[in-house]
Amino acid sequence: MINSLEKNKTSWDKEAHRFFARNPLPEYGPLAPFEDDLHLFGDVTNKKILEIGCGSGHSLKYLDEQQAKEIWGIDLSTAQINTAAEVLKDTRSDVKLLESPMEEDPGLPHQYFDIVFSIYALGWTTNLEKTLDNINKYLKSGGTFIFSWEHPLYNRIKNNDGDLRLIKSYHEEGSYDHEAWSSPAMMQQFKLSTYINSLISHGFMIEKMIEDVCISDDIIPKHVNGWYSYEKAKMIPTTLIIKSRKI
């Protein structure tokens, strides 16, 4: 786990600029529905909110604009934390940013947050069980955990001129080399059932699961010839979104 974290930190510090303001709230991911339609967060006025994998800080900025009371973020990458600090320097909310892997508790308050969320970051964890255990500790009883991540089917299926071909067993789980960047990184692959069962075993009740695709004329140009293509998204979902509650 330590070697993977070091590799991923180095990679993210180098590649962070590529993900500046990439699919932040109100977006949940590439070609995925928006919070404007899903209303998973509800009214965040005066809420204390923590983001796991805060990236460039734009999702937290969105929640500040929605009148959140406190916005906190943790991220493995020094470059991302520095960027988020700049993006959030003029917010009205109380802002706290911590450089830390999600698998470790950097001293965050326990039973404190109304909402913990993660937009396209949870799949980078090197230890899903430890990460969910931490999130449960941070949340108040009855608090909400919302996350989005690439749908478990998406990278297992390749689109070849309109023909879908399974290129990796759905049953295969665990770490693998991320090959999309010039910098080596490790990603994790889990089945949908693994996410659901892990949430349940760590004291969460599933409230909603979303696999819908949002395809509109203004979104399509962002993904032309990209990993998340319009043609592929017409046939399989790009994104998994789950809302759960701490029991």
Whether residue 225 is predicted with pLDDT greater than 70 in this model: the reply is no
Residue-wise pLDDT for 13-34, tens only, equals 999 888 888 889 999 999 999 9
Residue-wise pLDDT for 182-203, tens only, equals 788 888 899 999 999 999 999 9
Task: Give the pLDDT score at 222.
Answer: 65
The residues with which 149 forms a beta bridge, in sequence order, are 240
Amino acid at 107: G
- Which has more pLDDT, 41 or 178? 41
- Which has more pLDDT, 163 or 215? 163
- Average pLDDT for 222-234: 76
Q: How confident is the model at residue 1 (pLDDT cuts 50, 70, 90)?
A: low
- Average pLDDT for 74-78: 97
Task: Give the pLDDT score at 221.
Answer: 66
Q: Are 83 and 109 in contact (CB under 8 A)?
A: no
Q: How confident is the model at residue 181 (pLDDT cuts 50, 70, 90)?
A: confident
Whether residue 230 is predicted with pLDDT greater than 90 in this model: the reply is no
Q: What is the mean pLDDT of the chain?
A: 93
Length in residues, the chain: 247
Q: What pTM did the predictor assign?
A: 0.94
Provide CATH code, domain 2-246: 3.40.50.150
- Average pLDDT for 40-59: 98
Task: Give the pLDDT score at 114.
Answer: 98
Task: Give the pLDDT score at 22.
Answer: 86
Amino acid at 101: P
Task: Give the pLDDT score at 228.
Answer: 86
- Average pLDDT for 149-168: 91
Task: Give the pLDDT score at 224.
Answer: 59
Round to the nearest angstrom and report the end-to-end CA distance of the chain: 29
Residue-wise pLDDT for 81-137, tens only, equals 999 999 999 999 899 999 999 999 999 999 999 999 999 999 999 999 999 999 999
- Report domain extents, the chain: 2-246
- Average pLDDT for 50-54: 98
- Encode the chain in three state secondary structure: CHHHHHHHHHHHHHHHHHHCCCCCCCECCCCCCEHHHHCCCCCCCCCEEEEECCCCCHHHHHHHHCCCCEEEEEECCHHHHHHHHHHCCCCCCEEEEEECCCCCCCCCCCCCEEEEEEECCHHHCCCHHHHHHHHHHHEEEEEEEEEEEECCCHHHEEEECCEEEECCCCCCCEEEEECCCCCCEEEEECCHHHHHHHHHHCCEEEEEEECCCCCCCCCHHHHCCCCCCHHHHCCCCCEEEEEEEEC
DSSP at 212: -
Burial 172-204 (b: 16+ CB within 10 A, else e): eeeeeebeeeeeebbbbbbeeeebbebbeebbb
Q: What is the C-alpha R_g of the chain?
A: 17
Q: Are 73 and 5 in contact (CB under 8 A)?
A: no
